[in-house]
Each structure stands twice: as C-alpha cells, then as structure tokens.
C-alpha cells in the first residue's frame, strides 16, 4: 500500500477513506513529497527524450522513494526496469536532475514489490 501512496499521491484520499491513514503519517512526508515532485519533473522531461515504448516499459511505473544526502532513490517493479534505469537511462536521468537542480545528483534504483510495500506499511 505504501508503494501505491508514494507513487500515486492522487489516490491518497481514496487510501485515507479506506482506513490506511497510517501510511501517510510517516515523519518523512515532506521528504517524499519533494522526491515525488522532483521525479515527476524528471519523468516529464524524459517522456520527451525517449520512445513511448521505453517510457511505458521502464519509466511509467516508477516512483521516487526518497531524496536525501543528494541521492534520489527510485523504486521500480521489475529487474528489467532496474537494469534500464541503471545502465541505459542513467546518463539522461542524471543530466535531467542536474538541469533541474543546478547541481549533480546521485541516483539509486531499488526493486519494490508488494511485500516491500506491506513491510513499509507496518512500520
């Protein structure tokens, strides 16, 4: 559930109505919001730079998990998407981050699955 809320904040009100308010009440809400806004800006830029098939396959279902110590952590659902972001799109992503923030930013890509989301929800 936490993955859904972090990746799709537009449905957070539905999540709250369903009784999952503790997912949104973490002390990192500001951090996550900043990371989400940053990642959305990156995605808007990348959408213009990559083919629709690459975007749909590797970027569409990603989300920002955190932005701390000058490192943006991005959650992906599949090893294939992780490989693409780390090896094939890393240069474009880092350039876009640098253009947006006017400084170099590190990127970390992690696999996030339903079990991870459940673990985060229970903490």
pLDDT tens digits, one per residue of 8-36: 554 444 343 443 333 333 434 444 458 99
Domain-located, residue 70: yes
Domain-located, residue 97: yes
Q: In this structure, what CATH number is given to the domain that contains residue 49?
A: 3.30.300.180
Domain-located, residue 51: yes
Is the Cβ–Cβ distance between 32 and 64 less than 8 Å? yes
Domain-located, residue 121: no
pLDDT digits (tens, 9 = 90+) for 86-119: 999 999 999 999 999 989 999 999 999 755 544 4
Domain count, the chain: 1
Dist CA 99 CA 18 (whole Å): 39
Q: The domain containing residue 77 runs over which residues?
A: 27-116
């Amino acid at each position: 559930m936490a993955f859904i809320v972090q990746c799709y904040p537009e449905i957070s009100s539905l999540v709250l109505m369903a009784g999952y308010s503790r997912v949104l009440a973490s002390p990192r809400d500001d951090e996550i919001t900043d990371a989400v806004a940053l990642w959305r800006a990156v995605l808007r830029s990348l959408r213009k730079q990559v083919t629709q098939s690459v975007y749909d396959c590797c970027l569409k279902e990603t989300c920002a998990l955190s932005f701390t110590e000058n490192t943006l952590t991005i959650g992906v659902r599949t090893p294939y998407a992780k490989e693409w972001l780390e090896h094939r799109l890393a240069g474009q992503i880092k350039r876009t981050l640098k253009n947006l923030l006017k400084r170099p930013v590190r990127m970390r890509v992690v696999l996030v699955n339903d079990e991870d989301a459940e673990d985060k929800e229970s903490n």
